[in-house]
Every structure is written in C-alpha cells, then in structure tokens.
Amino acid sequence: MAKIIYKLEDDISTDIIYPGRYMATVLPTETPQYCFDDMADLNKMLNSKEVPAGSIILAGKNFGCGSSREQAASTLKGHNLIIVAKNFARIFLQNSVNLGLQTVSCPDIEANVGDELEILEGKVINKTSGKSFDTLPLQKAQQEIVDAGGLIAYTRKRLLEKA
C-alpha cells in the first residue's frame, strides 16, 4: 500500500513537472531536484527526502501534456514516485514506460491526500474509503518494460537471455 502525498488537477504539463529553464540539466541523477520547481510546497516536500519511495501523486486528466521532454518522467522516477491519474498524455506515458516510471491510469479514481491506495492488477482500492476503481492496463510489452525498470534494463535483460 502507498499513501497519496499530493493531489493535482487536470492538464498538468511537462513544463510544470520539469520547468523548461532546466532543460540543460538532463542527467537522471540531477533532474529530481527540479521536480515541480514552480510549486514550492511540493518541490520542498520531495527534496526533503522525507517522502517514502513508492508514494503516490494523484492527478486528474491529461497528466504530462505539452512538450515531449523526457526529463518530466525522469524527474518523477528519481523520487521513486507512483503517478495515479485519470489519464496521461500519450507521449508522456510512453516516456514513462521507457524510463520505468510506474503510472496507473484510473479514470474514475476518488481519493485525497493522506488516503492509502492498494494498486492491484486491473484495479486500485482506496483503503481509506473502501472504494475500488478499475484501471486501464498498459499493453503487455509496455508493462514488461516498466517491470524491468525501463527500456534499457529490459533490452539488457533480453540480450542476456539470448546469450
């Protein structure tokens, strides 16, 4: 089970997740410090190192819209977050898969900050409210890439299996 640490609205763009002024910083070890930099409370929370790995940010529709910057997914991955949203922008979702960021599409989710969610195959259970919500699964190949930790880890694994 994981706890929701922050709740966002609809249409959170990649520029909100990872502001464009930091585009010169691309190393996954350096990008997390700029995650939600223009949202001082969330940025401070994430950089305090007090957020447990596997914590959830809950979002509305169209999370990750805007530009195709890969850093938006890598900065979230760097904080070991799970993103549960009503839906995701297509390019952001594929960037998330490629980097191994856990995303959960849950169109009807009802939850608030502090709620504990159990993420199962095909559904999310809000343990706080007792309600259950269906999820939209990734394609099988996408899920295998996420489970491996990203496209590079997945490719490495596949190559070693063939050797």
Residue 118 lies in a domain: yes
Phi, psi for residue 5 in degrees, rounded to 5: -100, -20
Residue 158 lies in a domain: no
Report percent pLDDT > 90 for the chain: 91
Structure tokens at 61: 């529709």
Phi-psi region of 122 (alpha: psi -120 to 50; beta: other; left: phi over 0): left
Residue 133, domain CATH? 3.20.19.10
pLDDT digits (tens, 9 = 90+) for 71-102: 999 999 999 999 999 999 999 999 999 999 99
Residue 48 lies in a domain: yes
For the chain, the domain total comes to 1
Residue 157 lies in a domain: no
pTM for the whole structure: 0.95
Residue 146 lies in a domain: no
pLDDT digits (tens, 9 = 90+) for 22-50: 999 888 889 999 999 999 999 999 999 89
Q: Which domain holds residue 104?
A: 2-137
Residue 107 lies in a domain: yes
Contacts of 144 (CB under 8 A, 6+ apart): 154
Residue 84 lies in a domain: yes
Residue 97 CB neighbour total at 10 angstroms: 23
Task: Report whether pLDDT(150) > 90.
Answer: yes
Q: What is the pLDDT of residue 89?
A: 98
Residue 161 lies in a domain: no
- In sequence order, what are the beta bridge partners of 125? 118, 132
